[in-house]
Structures are given as structure tokens and as C-alpha cells.
Amino acid sequence: MTHLPTIVPVPVLQGLRPRCSEANCKVVSNTPVNGEYRLLVLEAPEAILDCQPGQFFQLLCPAPEGEHPFLRRPMSIYGYDKAAGRLEFLYKVTGAGTRGLATLAPGDGFNVLGPLGQGFSMQDDWQNLMLVARGVGLATLAPLARMAQEKGRKLTAICSARRPDLAMSVDLFESYGAEVIIVHDEDGSSAPEALRPLIEARIAETGVDAFYTCGSSRLLRLLQDIGARHGIPGEIAMEQQMACGLGMCQACVRNFRVGDRIIQRRVCREGPVFPISEAI
């Protein structure tokens, strides 16, 4: 195995994560998974693989020709394996940073900072779980599916996409024992008015103890409404533009509703995972 440089610890505030680290990794592969997304697999040191589902890394993207990404890019963890020394990211090429990611080839070095943020939780009485997400938001929830399997929980994953062939992580979720339901825009099955009776039927038939989602505002509003009616809690991984990723720059502050108050929290620091009921 290639020798990797010494890890540089980055201190964080007491009471959150004990530390994160900056490390140089090595690219194992960087391949398309469908017409829109690519999977980046890195050989990573053990010190940065003490991760939780829902956390993210700040990636130092290479500069594509003629472009100059100024800041690191935050990206949620798609997969991590401490024993194998592997770290994975699923991404869509949309801007200068991800265009730079797409130029990485096997053997290239790649600098990452993390893991960052607060990940998902899974309370003991949350036995029947429902995951509802769309597009690359499903990447954030992939490690959660593995955690559900490890804890012996029952998981239903509703995977939404523009077309059936763009549904993400279906095989991976199934490998973790999840029942996967694919919905998409072409037949209208992904619309909130179609998802509502589907979710309500599952609640009536088998029960749902908790919801998990990521990114989509319309899915958040749907799960908030259903959750409030049935008393079902849940968590959401919020998507937000970030600069430092460490909580210092305040660029990712969002409003949250806690009781009858509106408060501000940093998505990178107090999140990116928050209670569904508090997200706005």
C-alpha cells in the first residue's frame, strides 16, 4: 500500500466532534455510474475513516483547464470502510469544482478535510425506518442504510429520480436488506400527491417509526406534514453552500423552527443533519 503523509489534526469546539483531519488520499477509481453521476473511490488513511452516516468532507478539487475553483467543495460521504481503507463520493458534474473532480485518474493524489458535521442518529425504538430521497440526495443516505442493517432495523427506501435509469443506489440499498421502491417524473409517481398515499399506506400496513431524507424541499414538506399527523419523527441532511465547512465563516447559516421560535444554526457545524420537524 502506498505510504500516505502524516495526518494534520484540525481542532473543533468542545461538545461537538473531537477533531477532523486533513489528509492526502490516492485515487483508486473515478468512473461514471449512469448518464449524470460519477463515483470517486479513494484509498484513505484510517484516521479520517472514523465517520458517521450523514457527515461530509471538504474536498480540494483540482483546477480544470481554464478554471480556478477558489474554495474547497463540501461533499457528503457515500461510503467508507476503515478495514479496507476506502472512502467514496458520488457526485454530479455541475460546476468548476466537480469538473475538476472528473479529471482525477487512478493513482492521483487528492486532499480531503474531514469528517465534518453531525451525522444521523437512530434511536432504539426506531425499528421500522423509511428513507425518502431524490437524485444525489440518496448518496448521503447510503451509509445510513448500512447502519440500519448493522442495527437490525427494517428499512424501506423510496428512491426518486427524473427517469427510472437515473435512480441512484438501488442495488446498494437492496444489498443492505432494504425494500426499494423507485418513483420517477416520467409517470408522475414521484410527485408529492402520488407519494402521500404510498407512504400513508405503509404507515397503515406495517408502521413507520422514523423518516429520513436529504435535500429536496418538497419531500421535506411532505414528510413534515405526514410526520406531524401521525407523530412520526425523523431527520434530514440539509444541503447548503459552504465556505470553510468548520463553522467559522457563518456562510451556511439557516433558519430553524424550534417550538414557537425561529433560531439560526450553521449547517456545517450544528448539522448537516437536523430533526425534520425543525427544518424550514
Does 84 lie in the same domain as 147?
A: no
Say if residue 98 carries a ligand binding annotation: yes
Say if residue 76 carries a ligand binding annotation: yes
Q: What is the CATH number of the domain that holds 107?
A: 2.40.30.10
Say if residue 244 carries a ligand binding annotation: yes
Say if residue 268 carries a ligand binding annotation: yes
Q: Report the alpha-carbon distance of residue 150 to residue 152 in Å, rounded.
A: 6
- Report DSSP letters for 94-142, one per residue: -SHHHHHHTT--TT-EEEEEEEESB-----TT--EEEEEEETTHHHHHH
Say if residue 214 carries a ligand binding annotation: no
pLDDT, residue 19, reads 67
Does 155 lie in the same domain as 105?
A: no
46 has pLDDT over 90: yes
Say if residue 249 carries a ligand binding annotation: yes
Q: What angle do CA 248, 67, 268 make, to 5 degrees?
A: 20
Between the alpha carbon of residue 126 and those of residues 144, 147, 180, the distances in Å are: 13, 12, 19
Does 102 lie in the same domain as 162?
A: no
Report field, pTM of the whole predicted structure over 0.75: yes
Say if residue 38 carries a ligand binding annotation: no
Say if residue 73 carries a ligand binding annotation: yes
In a domain, 103, yes or no: yes
Does 156 lie in the same domain as 108?
A: no
In a domain, 255, yes or no: no
pLDDT, residue 155, reads 96
Say if residue 97 carries a ligand binding annotation: yes
pLDDT, residue 36, reads 81
Q: What is the CATH number of the domain that holds 230?
A: 3.40.50.80
pLDDT tens digit sequence for 109-148: 999 999 999 999 999 999 999 999 987 788 899 999 999 9
Number of domains comprising the chain: 2
